[in-house]
């Protein structure tokens, strides 16, 4: 299972939100590149980088931070937040992203998302399936649809999607454990490569997700608040 720390960006700084609420913003570091380098120094190979300014503005904003990290580290970066157009996708890849995640656009402009899937291939395009009470949420989690998350995922799998990041918004930033049952259901009903996100608090959570069959796990606040130490993550990766 891939271990994927998260860096969320507002105004060029490393922050975290709780349940996607911008009013809960907490800044952890002024220089995301320093954070990324520390991850790489501990044997981590992957990074989930989210442009929260972009998510709110509906276009990429923090592409310079992406470039700094991809040029200043060996991390393979999945980039999301504000990717709404062909130009946004090109900006992300031009600035070194290995993969991009599309969530709102996949729900609201499926034809455009499928064009990206065809043009760049399923190894580079990740479906973002963010849900609240198992309903897909979009626009930086500010809008909830009526579409069930499992239906959303299975429909896109049939159209060629291989990778899905699924975040349970009710778990995000709460440090109360991930949505194991939801992930079990997704894996049982699809052949998707599932990346779990939201609520991961301990190495025990990671072990459970690995046992379930998740392809990856995104960890955010648990690292910044000291619940999971980078040295322990390094040992987990090597185990």
Catalytic positions, written as ranges: 8, 130
Residue 214 burial (C-beta neighbours within 10 Å; 0-12, 13-18, 19+): buried
Scan for tokens 């299975």, then name that residue: 154
Please list, in sequence order, all residues whose beta carbon lies within 8 angstroms of the beta carbon of residue 140, skipping any fewer than 6 positions away: 20, 22, 52, 55, 56, 81, 104
* DSSP sequence for 73-114: S--EEEEESS--SHHHHHHHHHTT-SEEEESHHHHH-HHHHH
């Amino acid at each position: 299972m891939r271990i994927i720390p998260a860096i969320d960006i507002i105004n060029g700084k490393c922050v975290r939100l709780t349940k996607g609420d911008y009013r809960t913003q907490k800044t952890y570091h002024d220089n995301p590149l320093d954070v990324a380098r520390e991850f790489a120094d501990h044997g981590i190979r992957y990074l989930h980088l989210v442009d929260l300014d972009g998510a709110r503005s509906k276009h990429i904003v923090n592409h310079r931070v992406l470039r700094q990290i991809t040029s200043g580290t060996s991390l393979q970066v999945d980039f999301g937040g504000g990717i709404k157009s062909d130009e946004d996708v090109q900006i992300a890849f031009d600035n070194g992203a290995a993969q991009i995640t599309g969530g709102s656009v996949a729900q609201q402009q499926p034809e455009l998302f499928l064009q990206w899937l065809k043009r760049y291939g399923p190894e580079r395009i990740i479906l973002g399936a963010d849900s609240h009470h198992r309903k897909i949420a979009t626009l930086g989690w500010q809008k909830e649809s009526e579409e069930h998350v499992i239906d959303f995922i299975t429909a896109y799998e049939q159209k060629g999607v291989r990778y899905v990041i699924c975040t349970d918004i009710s778990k995000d930033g709460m440090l109360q454990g991930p949505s194991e049952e939801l992930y079990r259901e997704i894996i049982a009903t699809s052949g998707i490569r599932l990346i779990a996100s939201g609520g991961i608090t301990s190495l025990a959570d990671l072990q459970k997700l690995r046992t379930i069959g998740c392809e990856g796990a995104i960890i955010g606040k648990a690292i910044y608040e000291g619940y999971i130490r980078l040295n322990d993550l390094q040992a987990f990766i090597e185990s």
